[in-house]
Amino acid sequence: MHLGDRDCSIQRRHQKLLEEAPAPEIASDIRSRLRAAAVTVAREIGYVSAGTVEFLFDGRDFYFMEMNTRLQVEHTVTEAVTGLDLVEWQLRVAGGEKLPLAQEDIRLHGHAIEARVCAEDPERDFLPSAGELHLLQWPSIESIRVDAGFTTGDEVPATYDSLLGKVIAWAPERKQAAARLAGALEHFYCAGVQTNERWLARVLRAPAFLEVRHSIAFLGERGGDFAGPKEMSPSWLALAAAAVHESEAGTADEAFAAAPSGALPATASALSPGRSPWATLDGFTPNLPARVDYAFKWHGHEHSVSLTFTRGQLSAAAVDNGSPMPLVDLSFSGASMVPAGDFPTGDSLAGRSVAARIENRRVQADYFRDGIRLHLWAGGAHYELTLDDPRLKEFSASAAQGGLTTPLPGVVAAVAAKVGQTVRAGEVLMVIEAMKMEHSISAPYDGMVKAVHFARGDRVPEGSELLELAPTATP
């Protein structure tokens, strides 16, 4: 018997990212023949268990591709529309029991879509991302199912698939299911590795997806359309500064509350618990405006934000010194920072929200402070900012940009270069395998290989120098 059909056309590099049931926009006669063909395949080979038969569909006819003798990752969408536990069914059949229902008893209700949340960086051509998960919060929303394999504190290794977990949405109609899933993905919070959930949320809202005008070539042709913002709006910069300020004030409050009573001034002990005059961090300066300055780096841009305190109100001014954006000075004299608790936050990041009224508009963001890094989730995007400290200088040569260091941990799959070899720009020197994908390290310029530091099969940490290349002298 069959349990309906699914569509898995949203793929990147032959890796499925969005799956749905039932398959949309298929004529009823074709759908009937498709399901009958799958049952015929299983019957003719005498197959006993759960299985998945895959076909290619060109819009007019379908062609057998393969049969997977197991449930697949996307079995959850079939469970959502049938109301059945397919894992239980599989175990019962393996134990010799008969199928609990007949074909005519199977009913499909509504539509379900699944998103695979993966540890990969959409901003760097989806390079796998490994490391410790400093924060991982999955959405907890009605009609949303989460099958998670990781949680906060876990280590994402470079030796396995990049899948962190699955988020599944059900609704009576397809467009409603897509909207629910996109909204749920924007209530996923992760810090420590790069993830693809905001990018997938944009795909789910794309007209081509909603109108079923996509195919397996869709992301290869249009994937760049769903990239995150290239600029950071002044509103988010203001909230980023307010988030840092709030986190520092909270740290000072905790230190105040933990201090022995004898170590505090007599006046301080009379204050309300948890609030120290030294924890207000209001930038008080005699005879000058009360101001606190912050500096951030994001995507190569340098941003400075000033928070000014006036009669209990907090305003912000932001300056972008980056290139190619022009120098701007944006005043937020009308911005009033208020506690996030004044606004309903829904399924936000618990205890880590900041909000403001800017020119009669309410803006809100969730944040997570991780040392000098500030993660800000706002406007459907995830911004990872670095608090600028002139004592700390970061340099990273990326293989994707032609560098000779590995941008991710992995295993050397192939070494094409030899010491003394003359190579041309773009020539592949080494291949690194990580999370079931291969990444080529290419020569950034014409030159001669001076040294090769790793051999095939060696494990390489992220940022390791793989080769040394001397540029060819130009006449």
Q: Which has the higher per-residue pLDDT, 139 or 324?
A: 139
**For the chain, where do the domains classified as CATH 3.30.700 start and end?**
234-387
Active site residue 391: no
- Upstream peptide bond of 324 is cis (omega within 30 degrees of 0): yes
Per-residue pLDDT at 241: 86
Are the C-beta atoms of 313 and 339 separated by less than 8 Å?
no
| Top-confidence range, 147-151, 166-170, 294-298, 315-319 | 166-170
Distance CA 22, CA 468 (A): 53
Give the mean pLDDT of the chain.
Answer: 81
Helices (H) and strands (E) in the chain, counts: 9, 29
Distance CA 347, CA 290 (A): 35
Q: Give 137-194 as a DSSP string.
A: E----TTEEEEES--TT-EE-SSS--EEEEEEEEESSHHHHHHHHHHHHTT-EEESS-
**Has residue 296 got a pLDDT over 70?**
yes
The region of weakest confidence among 31-35, 143-147, 289-293, 392-396 is: 392-396
Confidence category of residue 142, pLDDT binned at 50, 70, 90: confident
Active-site residue (options: 13, 70, 362, 424) = 70
Q: Which residue from 15, 23, 21, 16 is spatially nearest to 212, judged by alpha carbons?
A: 23
Distance CA 267, CA 275 (A): 12
Distance CA 252, CA 266 (A): 18
Q: Which residue from 368, 391, 336, 409 is spatially nearest to 136, judged by alpha carbons?
A: 368
**Has residue 442 got a pLDDT over 70?**
yes
> Which residues contact residue 34 at a Cβ distance below 8 angstroms, ignoring those fewer than 6 apart?
5, 26, 55, 57, 62
Q: CA neighbours within 13 Å on the CB side: how many for 444?
A: 14
Q: What CATH architecture is 7-226? A: 2-Layer Sandwich (3.30)
CATH for the stretch 399-471 = 2.40.50.100
The region of weakest confidence among 152-156, 298-302, 369-373, 461-465 is: 461-465
Q: Which has the higher per-residue pLDDT, 34 or 261?
A: 34
Q: Is 108 helix (H, G, I), strand (E, B) or coil?
A: coil
Per-residue pLDDT at 128: 84
| Top-confidence range, 39-48, 123-132, 383-392, 433-442 | 39-48
The pairs formed by 175-178 with CB atoms below 8 angstroms and a separation of 24 or more are 175/210, 176/111, 177/20, 177/110, 177/111, 177/112, 177/113, 178/113, 178/204, 178/205, 178/209, 178/210
CA 15 to chain centre: 16
**For the chain, where do the domains classified as CATH 3.30.470.20 start and end?**
7-226
**For the chain, where do the domains classified as CATH 2.40.50.100 start and end?**
399-471
Residue type, 424: R
Domain spanning 234-387, CATH class: alpha beta
CA 274 to chain centre: 35
Are the C-beta atoms of 386 and 372 separated by less than 8 Å?
yes
Per-residue pLDDT at 234: 81
Per-residue pLDDT at 84: 96
